[in-house]
Amino acid sequence: MKAHALSEASIEEYGITNVKESTLTPFILRHVMREVRATPLDTAVATNEAFETIFGGNAYHLTSDVMVEVLGTMYHALDERQKRPCFFDVCELPLFIVEGPKYSGKSLLTKQLVEEQHFGCFSDSMLIERALAAAAQELETVSFVEAETSTGESPKKKPSAHNDWVLAGRRVHDVLYKGGAVDIALLSELFRLQLQDAQGPECQGLVMDSVFHRPHEYEVVEGVLLPETRHPYEAVYERWLRSKEEERLRAAERVEEGEAERDEPAQTVPASADGEHAAPATSLWQVERVKFGEQVKKEIKPKAPRKGVDLSQLPPPVLPKVEDVESLIQGEKEFIAKAERELEPYGALFSSILYIQCNPQEIFTRFAGLRMDRETGEEYHMVYAPPPPERMPFLLNVDRTRANTAQLHDIVLQQERQWRTMIQWLRQHRGIMNVVHEIDGNKDMAAVEAEANELVGTALASFEIGKKLYHTMKASEVRIADLQRQTREQAAAREAERCRLIAIYTEKGVPLPAELEPHEEEEPFCRMPGELPDLLLKRVEEFSTPYESQYAWSWEQLDELTHLLLRYKTFTTGQLTQFWEQPDEKQEVLDRFVRRFNELPNSVRSNLSCKEELHVYTDDLADSLFFCVQSRRTQCTALIERITKKDIFVDEWETNVCNVGLSLAQMEQERFWLMCNVALQYFSALVDEPLALEEISGEVELMKSANARAEALGADAAPSRTAKPKTVAGKRNHARADDQPEKGAEDIFTEWMTRLTASLTNLFERVKMSTDVNNSKAIKKAAVTVSAQKVAFVATKAMPVIEQELAVALGRLEKVSSFVHRFLNDSQSYVQHLKSTLHAEAQGIFTKDASAVNTALYTIRSCIEVEKHCPPMHLGCGTFAIHERGDSAGAHPPSPTMDPSFITDVPLFQDVAAPPTLIHGTLSSRRLMDLIHLFWTVAPDYALCRADFLHLVQQSDFGGAAAPNMTLFSVEQLFTAFDVHRKGIIDWRELVVHLLFFCVSTSQAGAATSAFYVPEVTVPQLLETRENLGWDPLTDTDFFDIPFYFDQCMSNERLEAYTKALWATFAHRTTGLLNPSELLWFLCADAQPLRGVQKAFHLFSLPEAPGRLTLEQLFSVFHMKATNTVGDADPFTRANLQRLFEDRETISFNEMCSLVLGRKMLNCASMLRRKRFVTDA
């Protein structure tokens, strides 16, 4: 939000008055953000921004409904290629996962399931060991085979499954031999091999232990075991069809809801019935079969049979029947579709995921109950697996050093974090989340096992139901294949018998009866060729790449052109600045007059006539000075008009913008041509008549620049060397058409857009003319060929599609044209505003210039009246100053400085200000106070984001830390150094403290006071400062009176600057009070973070317990910065501190170091590490 507000303010600084509606806003905003962070414009982002800005949404959504219907018809014709995975295709045994933290009882539960439910169990280590064993066994077998081959015996081949395990074992061996870890992809392959070997009647299911724990690992395993075959043209669906189909589904749902509310029987009309509920696309893409060019068959008189042929001896014309099984096949397909819908819940990889939820306190309690027999080495648990009474004297506690406790603590925290991440991912996949069950692990093991058995039993019952349904569905597919094969065999037998009878009847010379005539059952609608959807959808998909690339390129070009427009402002401002820096004649004229005025003797200055004459000379001086001002004003106006002339920059720039717009319009023309061809080829394929439009002739040429247009116009209008034509006297020459004003880039762009629109309309007219061929009365039907009839039929069917697509394409062209015109108008307004700004700036300067002249004249007239010498004066471009100097002996004492504010607002000369107080070599106290004020403005909660940091901080602010053989950080590198948690924010109080005390060159450490070096603070000095500051909040009066440890090592001015900076940083804006603890905490920063924590222990401890902190005090020490709570993994939570303290009320630094958990916390304590401003070269 802050960065956005900052960017809007920056955009207004560029001269954009209407920020929200201007088309230049997104480009200028990107230019501003690019100055902050150098990120290139991504192609996909550029395309989306272009679509959103030009069309107000996705450009693919601006497609006619009928074209979407045609594309959807072809897309859904290939739906059979998209196959959803089913678990029963891979394995017919249910898979279970038992998860939980360490010592939660998952091993006992797994063992109980294996024994009672007859499950097989395997883990990742078991899979790896089996693969390595197979590879090792193969190596031994190869050695044995080589030995047998040498003796002449033939080797035996191993089965292929064993070979798969051998290959996987070799891969595992290579990975482990190189010191790597077995990744989840290789582990998934081992998992697949294990499932293939686990099939058998003795195994009722599989239990997995520690195979994967993260969402990414689950996705990899699911991709290996249940690969999903996606639609080959899913990109076409996402771009062209998704929005329309979702909108249609929402409309259908609203209609159904309305019908349900009315509950009227008359509204329940089937979708296939005629009426308003009939499918609107049926008449469009379902073309009735038409026979072209058929002539009326002549009646053929039956021939008499050949003499001597006995018709009774001929076989009867009876053909075997072909059973109609379409109804049976349709019933089986309906059952398969229903079964596939019911098997969708079985698309998950696992039948059930059992997670044992157990509190950490219970886990540590169970860990405390572990015992080991020192003689036999047997491990027992005093609660869940108690030892025999006779072995009690020989039991020892399991090694429970602090390292093991801390290790268990880390393991439990890591497992809890992994499960939280996993459960969040599972909630996004409802099909998987339905099989996740959490079991309360705080109960005794018997209750846990009973609850798990109940869940497993339910999962097994559901699995068996799905398994039976799956086998029934597969049997149905087999029956469909058998019925189709039976139909083909019967048809082949019928055809063979027909051919046999035809041969007999022909041999005997008997005419063929009607029963033996070929009979073809034609479908009422034309069937779409199988290769047509691939052909057309591939062309549509291939078109999307150049289409989006063109818009991305155009958007990048507009971005560059906007950058040039901003640079044009820099150019004009620079030209005007150079003009102001040029010397003028006012100073010379004024110096000459002052020199002559001061040469007058003092005796004549009091003469009244002399004064009057001097005033007359002053009037002449005023005329000369104002003449200089006016001449300079004329030069400035001419300069502004010259640098803002259109042919300098604007004409060329507008031509480039129009060329970008023409490229987009031409791409829309190609899109319309593609849609026309898709419609024509679709309908022509139905009637087997290849038909397509040719390429659009006459590509759009790039517009020439204004200079090139002028040169071309001059070349065309050059006079030829012919005789001068005679003119009739008395006739006046009128203006010719060639004398008309030249057209601008925007006018030419409008003409080209009109031509493009006309080309699209002509394309539609060509299709429309093809439909009139068959309907023309001038052409006899006998003269019309079959091909012409098909062309007219295809054009008639495709014309509604092309007509609607034409309307949509013209709408897209209108949007492109409107955007280009708005972009040009906004740029013209920008240039006009720039020109007005330059004139206003010049007017303001010349107003000040005139005021300066009036001030100089007033000073001279005052000197005339008081009879004194005129002091040296500076008269610049809008500036004026008086250089005071002592007069010679005998002269009058200098008069006090006069304030001419009643004449003009130009300030008089003032003494040179004292040099600023420096914090270090390149940072003044004023700059530091400005930074603190800005930090308070953008980050009142002390959390300064990266964008604001890069915008506000400069490299010169910490340039004092530069040293030989060291490289000074850039601003971005400095932010990274302070951003310890890598969350994009820092505590700006820490930056201010580092600039005050630690931003010094290493070569200056220990040098003189002028080297800006503040000595390292010691613990006694901090304790003394703590005693002086106290514990209560301080007011400004109390704070400025308190001495600090650095008082003696700097001057009073620098000490005052330091004290003001600390007060401005740590004093709260609302209360006006300063908390001493916050200030002292940041002063504890040390090059060694542990030493910084040690300082904090001494500073924050109470006087009655020096060096010891309570839990709340230690928590505040570790969470003093504004960025400490941002980290995902906070090792200093109250729960962890409670485990650290145990029964202690307070803890010291040494005690914390003696504990493993404390050492781990201190190793993570980076908040008091002193940051650097340089790095090694």
The radius of gyration computed from the CA coordinates of the chain, to the nearest angstrom, equals 46
Q: What is the reported pLDDT for 142?
A: 58
Give phi and psi for 531, each to the nearest 5.
-85, -5
What is the number of residues in the chain? 1177
DSSP code of 348?
S
Q: What is the reported pLDDT for 475?
A: 92
- Which whole-number Å values give the CA distances from 928 to 973, 1024, 1050, 1060, in the listed order? 20, 27, 17, 10
Choose among 143, 202, 199, 191: nearest CA to 165: 191
Give phi and psi for 207, each to the nearest 5.
-115, 130
Residue 1047 lies in a domain: yes
* Nearest-10 Cα torsion for 437, 443, 447, 450: 20
| CA 758, chain centre distance (Å) | 40
Q: What is the reported pLDDT for 717?
A: 38
Q: Are both 1011 and 1156 inside the same structural domain?
A: yes
pLDDT digits (tens, 9 = 90+) for 1014-1059: 788 888 888 888 888 888 888 888 888 888 888 878 888 888 888 8
State both tokens at 317: 């014309």
Q: Name every residue whose Cβ is closer than 8 Å to that of residue 351 and which is 6 or more positions away in sequence.
A: 94, 95, 96, 205, 435, 459, 460, 462, 463
Q: What is the reported pLDDT for 811?
A: 92
Q: How many helices (H) and strands (E) does the chain have?
A: 38, 18
Instruction: Read off the CATH number of the domain in which 465 is found.
Output: 3.40.50
> Is 916:925 a contact under the CB 8 Å cutoff?
yes
Where are any strands of DSSP class E within 183-322? 205-209
Residue 15 lies in a domain: no
Which ranges of the chain have pLDDT less than 50? 1-7, 144, 157-160, 263-283, 295-301, 401-403, 697-700, 702-703, 705-739, 774-783, 886-913, 1005-1010, 1126-1127
DSSP code of 14?
T
Q: 203, 237, 261 — which closes off a domain? A: 203
Instruction: Tell me which residue has tokens 């953000």.
Output: 33
Q: For residue 379, give the H/E element and its range.
A: strand 379-381
In three state form, how does the secondary structure of 96-145 look?
EEEECCCCCCHHHHHHHHHHHCCEEEEEHHHHHHHHHHHHHHHHHHHHHH
> Is 542:232 a contact under the CB 8 Å cutoff?
no
- Which whole-number Å values give the CA distances from 747 to 565, 655, 829, in the listed order? 21, 11, 17
Q: What is the reported pLDDT for 35?
A: 56
> Is 1157:401 a contact under the CB 8 Å cutoff?
no
Alpha carbons 404 and 768: distance in angstroms, whole number: 86
- Specify the amino acid at residue 217: E
Q: Are both 1035 and 1172 inside the same structural domain?
A: yes
Domain region containing 973: 918-1176
- Which whole-number Å values give the CA distances from 803 to 645, 763, 796, in the listed order? 46, 10, 11
Q: Are both 197 and 345 inside the same structural domain?
A: no
Residue 1157 lies in a domain: yes
Q: 145, 179, 203 — which closes off a domain? A: 203
Q: What angle do CA 191, 197, 201 make, to 5 degrees?
A: 125
Q: What is the reported pLDDT for 1137?
A: 86
Q: What is the reported pLDDT for 485?
A: 92
Residue 1039 lies in a domain: yes
Alpha carbons 980 and 974: distance in angstroms, whole number: 11
1062 burial class (0-12, 13-18, 19+ CB within 10 angstroms)? buried
Alpha carbons 145 and 204: distance in angstroms, whole number: 38
DSSP-assigned beta bridge partners for residue 355 = 99, 438
Residue 198 lies in a domain: yes
1107 φ/ψ sector (left φ>0, alpha ψ -120 to 50, else beta): left
Residue 1162 lies in a domain: yes
Give phi and psi for 660, each to the nearest 5.
-65, -45
Q: What is the reported pLDDT for 700?
A: 47
191 burial class (0-12, 13-18, 19+ CB within 10 angstroms)? buried
Alpha carbons 280 and 66: distance in angstroms, whole number: 9
Q: 150, 172, 203 — which closes off a domain? A: 203
Total domains in the chain come to 3
State both tokens at 407: 């290790």
Residue 684 lies in a domain: no
Instruction: Tell me which residue has tokens 């010169």.
Output: 956
Alpha carbons 212 and 422: distance in angstroms, whole number: 10
Alpha carbons 473 and 479: distance in angstroms, whole number: 10
Q: Name every residue whose Cβ is closer than 8 Å to that of residue 207 and which is 6 or more positions away in sequence.
A: 96, 97, 98, 110, 113, 114, 119, 120, 121, 122
Half-sphere CA count of 290, side-chain side, radius 13 A: 19
Q: How far apart are the first and last CA of the chain?
A: 38
State both tokens at 485: 């094969």
Residue 681 lies in a domain: no
